[in-house]
Chain A
Amino acid sequence: MSHFLVPVFETGFFTSATVQTAVLVGATVPLVAAAVGVFTVMRGQSFAGHALGDIGTTGGSGAFLVGVGPLWGFVAISIVAAAAMEMIGIQRPRGRDLATGIVLGAALGLAALFLYLDATYHNTTGATVTILFGSIFTIAGSTTPAIVLLSVMVVAIVAVLYRPLLLSSVSAELAAARGIPVRAVGALYLLALAIAVALAAMTIGAILSTALLIGPAAAALRFTRRPGTAMLAAGAIGVGATWLGIVLAYDSYYWPPVGHGWPVSFFVVTIILVLYLLAGLPQLWQARTRSASAGITREPVAAGDR
């Protein structure tokens, strides 16, 4: 490695198995989150996405209690919660917040119990922190095939549903008039959202999963005009933020308190926030130049008249 890169990539970065797993997951999950997240923002279901992440706490703590990997806890609870939201009526604009709120409350009650039992029986609070705030460095290498497989599944669902989902996200009435089964499409999308949230919870923690799902998508929507472009941009933002977060977290081992390392999720979420704010700049600049040029545009017409 060239000499000046050493301060960026600390010794052992590229040979560490933990880092390799983290980099792979960091390249996969943000892409899934981007594909699903753009639709989540378009459909106004960000609260549902966030709630599914919080609800992941219940699955993660439950999985820890019975001794299975947290991924399966996240995935199972997320799908069950999404199904419950669907039945209560998340697809009606008025039922949306209600359905989300009811399911969220019930699940978090259960999470309180599970986390208490985890702490009591296993005599550790580390699990609680990992479930809530996550750490991409704690993902077992053996979990990665499952993560990649689930990622492919979600992207496949979104790709197959793409056009009907887009039209029903624009207007349920327009879609219904075209013969699209709006409810079934919405329910399948909710399944994709549930799995995507579970994957995001694995990556940066249950509570923070929404940052990875909504953040890059919201940033991309500030400067793109097409859903496909928005997804590509959101994917790039998500992967970039996660990778940069991994590097910084690895480096932070040498920051005070020396020998501990800062939580990687903190870096990822902060970078996403910064990118979201930066994404607003082109719009701001455009608005300024448009108002500045508004007075000038009439001149060529006048010249033509002469």
Chain B
Amino acid sequence: MTGEGDRDRNRAAEREEILSVDGVSVSLSGREVLRDVSFRICAGEFTGLIGSNGAGKTTLFRVILGLQAASAGSVKVAGRARSRRNPMIGYVPQKFLLDPDMPLRARDLVGLGLDGHRFGISRPSRARRELVDEMLAAVDAQAFADARIGTLSGGEQQRVLIAHALISRPRLLLLDEPLANLDLPSGQEVVALLARIAAEQGIAVFISAHEMNPLLPVMERIVYLVGGRAASGTTEQVVRTEVLSELYGREVEVLHIHGRVLVVAGPGDDPEAGHEQHGPLVGVQIVQ
């Protein structure tokens, strides 16, 4: 993975568009969950999907994975229309905590990432074992490779899941709220690991979170979701008072304090106002 040729390929791949979402809208039982969402993600980029609970983050992921139909718009993965079981996408779902009684070693779960969709029982082979070992090493999980997955800590389980997602050599890695159940140091570890994977393997990492601060050190681009509408661009372009006020449909203020970003309601703002104002501000987007 570290040969000259690979590095050249990774550099060339950096400009390649891996995910393009164009005007996607989704309605679930009559409620519009996503509205005219558009953005692009390129190879090797670390992108954050930021939004509060219910903003539509998981729905957007489900649309990208092909598990949820969009009522309008299109999604393309590496230039092709997305399909079910797209080996180009690796996925780590939300709130994944396994029962300690589950008879499954960390390495078994990683192996299922390779051939879990195939029928029958997997035949052990040297190539398969070496690939699993390589993936476990890539996420620093060798130490607990043979432990039952449910006995591992939240951060360790996340790393094993990332290896599970990476083993099929995806171009795009989707992670749904991977930091939600982690303490601060474990969260930082996972974020650093993902940034390394994006840089070294040229994989586009797309990670959702309700809080942007843990991602700020490594996040190159941001997709900011409010009530199903999105603004996207570099962090500097999007996380600004004017842009977010327009997105929220009310006055908010972006404050920078000790390297952290806070989005607070603007002065004299009516807290009720944000709920109904979605009308004229459809599909706010910053084009680079």
Q: Which residues of A contact B (CB under 8 A)?
A: 38, 41-42, 159-164, 166-167, 170-171, 173-180, 221, 224-230
Contact = CB atoms under 8 A, between A and B. Distances in A.
Contacts of A162: 119-121
Contact of B93 (A41, A171, A229): A171
Interface string B197-228: 00000000000000000000000000000000
Interface footprint category on B: 20 to 34
B85 A178 contact: yes
B141 interface: no
A107 B108 CA distance: 40
Contacts of B112: 163, 166-167, 170
Contact of B84 (A42, A171, A179): A179
B89 A177 contact: yes
B38 to A, nearest CB: 23
Contacts of A171: 93, 96, 98
A55 B221 CA distance: 57
Interface string B77-100: 000000011100101011010100
A46 to B, nearest CB: 12
A174 B103 contact: no
Contacts of A163: 112, 115-122
Contacts of B159: none
B109 interface: yes
Contacts of A38: 103
Contact of A173 (B93, B101, B146): B93
A164 B112 CA distance: 9
Contacts of B85: 178-180
Nearest to B89: A177
Contacts of A227: 103-104, 108
B161 to A, nearest CB: 8
20 contacts: A41-B101, A42-B102, A42-B103, A159-B120, A162-B120, A164-B118, A164-B119, A166-B112, A170-B98, A171-B93, A171-B96, A173-B93, A176-B65, A177-B91, A178-B116, A179-B117, A225-B103, A225-B105, A225-B146, A226-B103
Contacts of A166: 104, 112, 116
Nearest to A224: B103
A229 B105 CA distance: 12
Contacts of A226: 103-105, 108
A236 to B, nearest CB: 15
B148 interface: yes
